[in-house]
Structure formats: structure tokens, C-alpha cells
Structure 1
Amino acid sequence: MTAAVALAEGSGAARPERRPFEPGSRMWDDVGLLTFSLTAGSAFLLQTMEPTIAAVVDEHSTFRTDPMGRALRSIASVMMWVYGGDEALAEADRLRAMHATLNTTDAAGVKHQALASAPWAWVLHTGVFAFTEGNKYFSREKLTAADKEAYYQETVQLMRNFSVAPKEIPATYTEWEPWFWDQVENHLTATNVAYDYLKVIRRIAPPQQIPAPLHPVWRAVTAPVGRLQYFFTVGTTPGIIREKLGLEWTANDERALRLLGWAIGRTVPKLPERVRYFPIAYEARRLERDRARLRKMITLRPI
């Protein structure tokens, strides 16, 4: 337990303020990029290896039956966390309310609650890893220690928005990093949910609205996408996790990932903003520019 957390718990102080993200933050600039999706798979894989999350997902999630819909809803929700303004807090509350009843008992008789403090926090902690790992492969500008700390402090604010218990939040990135790797090594386990997730992303099931006769066409078209999605997920997953799951990753695979990442990191920044950002992120950024222009005109108005 960090000193900062111990002080907060011992003093009986009120929880820190919840507040939406604004332009100028690291998350505002980075979370909405399409490259976010390249490491979202490894983040979810880490989640499926947390025992409580795995048990709840196994019983309640639709990722097996509606993988496309599940992925689109998840990405849209994450975009709301950062770009939704005041509605970002409402989205966090909606998710907490939705998860409040997602409880289960596993085959060993252990009871699991989706809102238990550690699993609830772990979902957001995996995002820190995904961000730093994604930057390592898919960005031209590598993160400094100060960059990592700044992003982590924004994640701390995100955790506050989600009412994560203070005891689950290391105070700094320097404290978070060894804590995270301890969780990866000593708490995460190989689960059937993790293996199922890897199968789902490798062979993308057709959406429910596509007629059965067109399923072979869907499979043919999406097969390369599935292979690439699996490749990125396995490649950006910690090596110790690959060992726990028995996933093969060769030196040639690593070189190929770095080469693809190099190309992506130099191509995406040159794309128009409408293309390189997810729709909610793009519209939020465009709206903020419009507001800034309006503020400028109001300031310059003759009086």
C-alpha cells in the first residue's frame, strides 16, 4: 500500500473529485486514435486472466455470441470516458450500475462480484499497460518517464471517475510499474475465457444480421483481419502471459511486429483527423475547435 493511499484511507477524507477530461490532456490526444485498437486486445486478454473478471465474463459477456457488437460497444464506451464531457461521468455511473448485478460462482464454489474493488480497478490498470506498450510499437515519439507519469496521473483521475477504491491505486507510475508486474506474474492465471477470446479474435464471427448463405464470404473477407488482430494481441501481450497461455512468439514475429509498428507509426499521423480518430473522438475534437473559435470571436467583438 502506498503512503498516499494509506493517508487517504486513514484520514477518512472524502474521495477526490470526479471530473471529465478536457482538451490538452494526454488522453484527449491519444485515446481516440485508431491505433488504440491495436493494443486493446492485449488489455482485454489481461482482463480475462483475472479470476473474478474471467468468471463474470464467462457467464455474462456476449463476446462469444456477438463479438463484433461487443467490440464496437466497448470502443464507443471508452471514447465516452474521455470525450463525453459531463456525459463521461454518466457513462461511468451507467457501467457501474450495469455491473452491480453481474455476480457469479465458479466451479470451485468461489463467489465473484464484478464490482469487487480489485477486479474493477484491474480493467483500468490494463489500459495503462496498453498505452505504454502501444507507444513502444506504434508511435514515432517514444514516451519519457515524465510522459508515463503524466498519463498515469490522468488514469488515476479516470479511476476516480469510476469510483475505484483508493486502496487499488498506486500513487505514481514508478510505484505502479512493479505493482503491475507483480499482478501479472502472481495473480493472473490461464483461463478458458482467455483461450476463447483468442479464438474469437482470430476467427471473427459474422454479425447476426448477415444471412447464413453469406457467412463463407464474411469468413473469407475477415480472415486476414482476424490473423492480424490475433498477431497484434499476442505480440503486445507480456511475455510471461504468453508463457502462461502457451502462445508461440518467435524472434521473426517480433521483428515483423516492429516493422509493422514502424510503418503504422509513420503513416497514421499523416492521415486526416477524421480518418485517424474514432468518430466520437473526432467530433468532440472538432466541436472543441468550433467552441474555441467562438470564444475568440466573442473576445474580439467590438464593445
Structure 2
Amino acid sequence: MTQDTSQIPSATSGSSRVPAAAATGCPVAPGGYDAPPQPLGPDSLTWKYFGQWTGMLQGPWAGSMQNMHPQLGAAVQQHSIFFLERMPRLYRSVYPIGGVVFDGDRAPRTGAQVRDYHIGIKGVDDQGRRYSALNPDVFYWAHATFFKSTLLAAEWLGGGLTEAQQRQLFDEHVQWYRMYGMSMRPVPKSWEEFCEYWDHMCRNVLENNWAAREVLDLSGMSKHPSLEWMPDWLWRLNVGALQRFFNFTTVGLFDPPIRELMGYSWSPRQQRLHRMFGMAIYRTTKLLPKRMLMHPRKRSAWDRVHGRLPADAPLVETPARNLPPVGYRDNPHYYSPR
């Protein structure tokens, strides 16, 4: 399915008019957007809670939850090189994903780019089921995990949310999703519907599959290029410690049906320790400079908003150390800024 751009306003630098369909993919409707989507801004709760370095504590949770979707897991197993370069892939992906929230009037262009990395990712899984990364239900599930991770960051590491704030974040996640130019059909219509949707996915749709288990198994994780100085024996010790740590943080974030699905136990004592750890992180981060905790894409967005950078300053892209392996850098499926 290709995007018809004939009815979509184009943009000029610094303008509020945006290139909403700068690339091809699945449109909202055959004629494109009815109007350019309105990006989120600094007054949103999403800007407050998303894009913090503390979010890396939820990395295995987000990756495993996404991959438990049968179609998404099959796509990762058959098309992704994530397991060859976990750390660079994780660090570089946060740039465009964060940009869909923080890029202002350029956010729809960033969303279209993220969407279009998935063009052509389709096939048949090992059970004979067809899949496509641009199936609206699959694409929305990935976004739902980003929204849920924002909620978890606020609840676990951010001091908690009121019901009104949960509802506000729900409304913002719908606005956020419009940046991709995808069909809005799978998106729940209310906070209550989202809660029902999430519970249904956890209980009835997600699977204990290879891709989800591999995300949770760090034993084969290779060094980040910046850590090549580290002796192999020390890296193995480091990975062993990371495995135990992320088992604790990740299983504590799983919904009970997911723990059962993946074969994990969880005691009231572990739950208390998990909650205490989150509170300790929250209290520590309150003492640190806010800018220190922001991912570079978020920090530059705040700088543009507050005049530290020009409004049309170039977007911050991932450093070279996080780029895909050389042989994959011209592949349109991979984010690889020059």
C-alpha cells in the first residue's frame, strides 16, 4: 500500500505546516491525512515522562512484550539483526522513536520514516501464519508498548500518576500515534477500552515465542563498540550481573498473565523490593539536573523550545558508534543517518 501525497500540505523550515507523508506506507485514508497531525509539545505529560535515560531500565520489558505478539515476533526472528548487535540497535532506535514525540513540526516526517523502515517486512512464520509489520494491528501493538512503558515509567520511577493523568496520557498516546500516518482503526477509543485491550492481549494473544525469550536472555549479548577495551572475562561477568538485574526489573513489570505465560514466579517480597527500587530511583533522580536525565533527542527539543537552539536546528541523530554493521547501512529497513 502506498501513500498518496497529492492532498497533503508540504512544509517549509520552521513552519507549522508539516510533510505528513514524506515517505510511502499505509495511509490513514486513500487520500492521505484529512489534516496534518498535531505533534505533542512541552506542555504534555508524554514530554515529561518519555525520553528519560531511566527508561533503559525497561528495555527488556518493552522488547519482550513487543516480540510476544505472534506477527511481530516472527518478523523479528526472520528479518531483524537485533540479536547480532543488541546494544547499538537499542541505543540508536531511541533517536527516531523519541523524535516522533519530540521533533515538533517535523514529528510527522520522523513518524513516516519510522513507519517506512517496516515496508516489505512480511512473510510466513514457522506455524504457517502470514505476518506483516505494517498490519495496523501489529503496528499499533508496538506503539501500545511504548505508551504502556510511559505509564510504567511514571508509576514505577516517576512518583505515580493520578487517574486524570492516566487519561491524559492515553489521549496523548493517540495524538502521538497519528504521527505515523497509519490506520487508526486498532486504537482504543477510551482509557477504559485500552485497559480492556491490554488485558485481552496479555491473556489471549501474546505468545511465549523464540523472539521474546531471546530478548530476555542476555547471555549471548556482545559488547557495545565503545566497550571493546573490556577483557572478555570481565564482559562475561558483567553480562551475568546484568542478567540477574534485568530479570528482577523486567519480571516485576510484567502483568501476572505474562509472568505465567513466560514461566516466572513472583513473590510479595519481590514485589516490595521492586517497588522500593523504583522509589529509590525516583528520589535519586529528583536530586540530579533534569537535562542530565534526558536523552539527546529530548534534550535538544527542550533547547529549541526554550531558545537555546534555533527552532529549525538540525535534529540530533545517533552517533557513529551505534550505526548498523557496514553491510546494512544502505538497507532501507535500518535507521542509519549519514
TM range (shorter): 0.7 to 0.9
Determine if the alignment matches structure 1 residue 170 to structure 2 residue 167: no
Letter in 2 for 1:37: M
1:212, CA displacement in angstroms? Answer: 9.4
2:43 pairs with one of 24, 28, 33: 24
Greater fraction helix? 1
Deviations 1:142-197 (A, max 9, x none): 21111011111111011111123222011111221112111111111111111111
Query: Does the 8 Å CA contact 2:203/2:257 hold for their aligned counterparts?
Result: yes
Deviations 1:85-124 (A, max 9, x none): 2332222111222101111211222221100010011011
**Aligned-residue identity in percent:** 25
RMSD value, Cα: 2.6
Partner SS for 1:104: strand
Mean CA deviation greater in 234-243 or 161-170: 161-170
Task: Please list, as runs of the form range in 1=range in 2, the aligned pairs for 1:91-102 lying within 5 A after superposition.
Answer: 91-102=110-121
1:278 pairs with one of 295, 301, 306: 295
1:77, CA displacement in angstroms? Answer: 2.2
Question: When the two structures are superposed, what TM-score results if normalisation uses the length of structure 2?
Answer: 0.76
Letter in 2 for 1:243: E
Letter in 2 for 1:268: T
Change (3 A) 1:223 1:108: closer
* Number of residue equivalences: 282
Tell me what 1:159 maps to.
177
Where do 5+ consecutive residues of structure 2 fail to align?
1-27, 312-338
* Counterpart-to-counterpart distance in 2, 1:17 and 1:185: 36
Change (3 A) 1:16 1:228: farther
* Counterpart-to-counterpart distance in 2, 1:207 and 1:196: 18
Letter in 2 for 1:117: P
* Counterpart-to-counterpart distance in 2, 1:257 and 1:241: 17
Change (3 A) 1:66 1:292: closer
Query: Does the 8 Å CA contact 1:16/1:160 hold for their aligned counterparts?
Result: no
Letter in 1 for 2:247: Y
Where do 5+ consecutive residues of structure 1 fail to align?
1-8, 295-303
Tell me what 1:300 maps to.
none
1:219, CA displacement in angstroms? Answer: 2.6
1:248 pairs with one of 251, 259, 265: 265
Question: When the two structures are superposed, what TM-score results if normalisation uses the length of structure 1?
Answer: 0.84
Mean CA deviation greater in 229-238 or 119-128: 229-238
Higher relative contact order (CA 8 A, sep 6+): 1
* Counterpart-to-counterpart distance in 2, 1:284 and 1:149: 24
Letter in 2 for 1:245: M
Determine if the alignment matches structure 1 residue 145 to structure 2 residue 174: no
